[in-house]
């Protein structure tokens, strides 16, 4: 039943082997240990910061410590020190993510300062994990490079898109990924070729670590044609998805040979609401925040949706949304 086997939880990326790794209920680390873990960080640290402003859902409780490493080397140092102090790390992706109302224990890491992008020979682009996909697409268009058109309208970061093998009906990350730069659980910086990564629908099985950057193999193209494809697909997404409202994208994975949104609408759940969480009137596989939704509201609503679909069709929907934090 939905809420038991299928409501598996996990982060967009973190010190894990994949995107669906549970975040257990942890005791609050001692402040002294937290401060030791972040000592000397050249980036920024915020203790007790609310995470709602860092997620596309605009929902989320506090982090014990929210860290913004200045660069990859700073991230490496943070991982080493957190390991020494036995403090858990969670990397905040922002989109396709629901943070529970009680927040996340330990260190929460934002890669928002890792924003370098550089061109390499043979139409290869290297970008750090915190680069937004819209920014990366604009960079590719400005160089007349094709291969990223599928990402039109995807709001997340490169790091999160690699971890979940992000994609649309036009394509997905695995088709352009050449290699990934990881910071492993010991803080070592590693480069992993895409040939060593196993991909499936909305998942990349990576070695344990944090995606700090990636190389993308693009192709020379015609800028006008690239822009036309992107504009047409953006127009399609705006017409069919609630992009103007806070959400986390698609809640459920599409089952084989069907669409989760169609099943949800057929089950009569389009427009269903718990508190300020609502199944979108525009696309039934989106849950939107009407203003003051709590994580508990969203979880209750998606359980209702899952039960309704299962009762009507016998199909058990699997979450694409990642639910993290302290229950």
Q: What is the distance in angstroms between the CA of the first residue and the CA of the last residue of the chain?
A: 19
Listed residues 86, 109, 132: the one ending a domain: 109
Residue 254 lies in a domain: yes
Burial class, 71, CB count within 10 angstroms (exposed 0-12 / middle 13-18 / buried 19+)? middle
CATH for 269 = 3.90.78.10
Lowest mean pLDDT among 33-47, 81-95, 103-117, 171-185: 81-95
In a shared domain, residues 125 and 210: yes
In a shared domain, residues 72 and 153: no
Residue 3 lies in a domain: no
Please give the Cα distance from 90 to 97 (Å, whole number): 12
Chain-centroid distance, C-alpha 30: 28
The token duo for 188 is: 């070592």
In a shared domain, residues 258 and 221: no
In a shared domain, residues 180 and 259: no
Contact between 204 and 173 (Cβ < 8 Å): yes
Q: With 80 as the cut, is the pLDDT of residue 27 above it?
A: no
| Look-up of token digits 């080397």 | 73
Residue 4 lies in a domain: no
Contact between 237 and 152 (Cβ < 8 Å): yes
- Spatial neighbors of 201 by CB under 8 A, at least 6 apart, are 165, 253
Contact between 252 and 269 (Cβ < 8 Å): no
Residue 238 lies in a domain: no
pLDDT in the model for residue 11: 37
CATH for 206 = 3.30.465.10
Please give the Cα distance from 99 to 160 (Å, whole number): 15
Q: Which domain holds residue 260?
A: 244-324
In a shared domain, residues 137 and 217: yes
In a shared domain, residues 194 and 255: no
Phi and psi torsions of 165, nearest 5° = 45, 55
Q: What is the DSSP string of 237-290?
A: HHHHS-TTS-EEEESBPPPTTS-HHHHHHHTT-TT-EETTEEE-SS-TTEEEE-
In a shared domain, residues 192 and 98: no
In a shared domain, residues 212 and 311: no
Burial class, 33, CB count within 10 angstroms (exposed 0-12 / middle 13-18 / buried 19+)? middle
pLDDT in the model for residue 189: 98
In a shared domain, residues 122 and 102: no
Contact between 210 and 75 (Cβ < 8 Å): yes
In a shared domain, residues 87 and 20: yes
Per the structure, the count of domains in the chain is 3
In a shared domain, residues 70 and 100: yes
The pLDDT confidence band at residue 74, using thresholds 50, 70 and 90, is: very high
Please give the Cα distance from 291 to 240 (Å, whole number): 21
Residue 77 lies in a domain: yes
pLDDT in the model for residue 153: 83
Q: What percent of the chain has pLDDT over 70?
A: 91
Nearest to 214 by CA among 245, 244, 176, 164: 176
* Higher pLDDT pick, 32 / 231: 231
Residue 215 lies in a domain: yes
Q: With 60 as the cut, is the pLDDT of residue 25 above it?
A: no
Residue 156 lies in a domain: yes
CATH for 37 = 3.30.43.10
| Look-up of token digits 């992008």 | 117
């Amino acid at each position: 039943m939905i809420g038991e086997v299928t409501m598996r939880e996990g982060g967009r990326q973190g010190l894990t082997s994949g995107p669906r790794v549970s975040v257990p209920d942890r005791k609050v680390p001692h402040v002294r240990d937290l401060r030791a873990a972040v000592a000397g960080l050249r980036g920024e640290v915020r203790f007790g910061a609310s995470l709602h402003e860092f997620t596309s859902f605009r929902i989320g409780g506090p982090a014990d410590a929210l860290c913004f490493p200045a660069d990859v080397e700073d991230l490496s140092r943070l991982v080493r020190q957190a390991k020494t102090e036995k403090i858990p790390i969670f990397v905040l992706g922002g989109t396709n993510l629901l943070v529970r109302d009680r927040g996340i224990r330990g260190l929460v890491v934002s890669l928002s300062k890792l924003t370098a992008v550089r061109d390499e020979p043979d139409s290869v682009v290297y970008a750090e994990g915190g680069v937004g996909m819209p920014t990366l697409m604009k960079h590719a268009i400005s160089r007349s490079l094709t291969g990223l058109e599928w990402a039109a309208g995807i709001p997340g970061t490169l790091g999160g898109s690699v971890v979940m093998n992000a994609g649309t009906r036009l394509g997905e990350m695995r088709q352009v990924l050449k290699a990934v730069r990881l910071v492993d659980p010991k803080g070592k910086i590693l480069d992993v070729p895409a040939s060593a990564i196993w991909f499936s629908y909305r998942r990349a099985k990576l070695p344990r670590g944090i995606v700090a950057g990636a190389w993308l193999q693009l192709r020379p193209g015609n800028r006008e044609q690239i822009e036309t494809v992107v504009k047409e697909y953006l127009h399609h997404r705006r017409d069919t998805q609630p992009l103007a409202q806070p959400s986390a994208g698609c809640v459920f994975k599409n089952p084989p040979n069907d669409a989760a949104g169609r099943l949800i609408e057929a089950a009569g759940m389009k427009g269903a609401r718990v508190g300020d969480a609502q199944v979108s009137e525009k696309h039934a596989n989106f849950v939107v925040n009407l203003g003051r939704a709590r994580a508990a509201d969203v979880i209750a609503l998606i359980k209702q949706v899952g039960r309704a679909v299962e009762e009507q069709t016998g199909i058990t929907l699997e979450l694409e949304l990642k639910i993290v934090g302290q229950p």
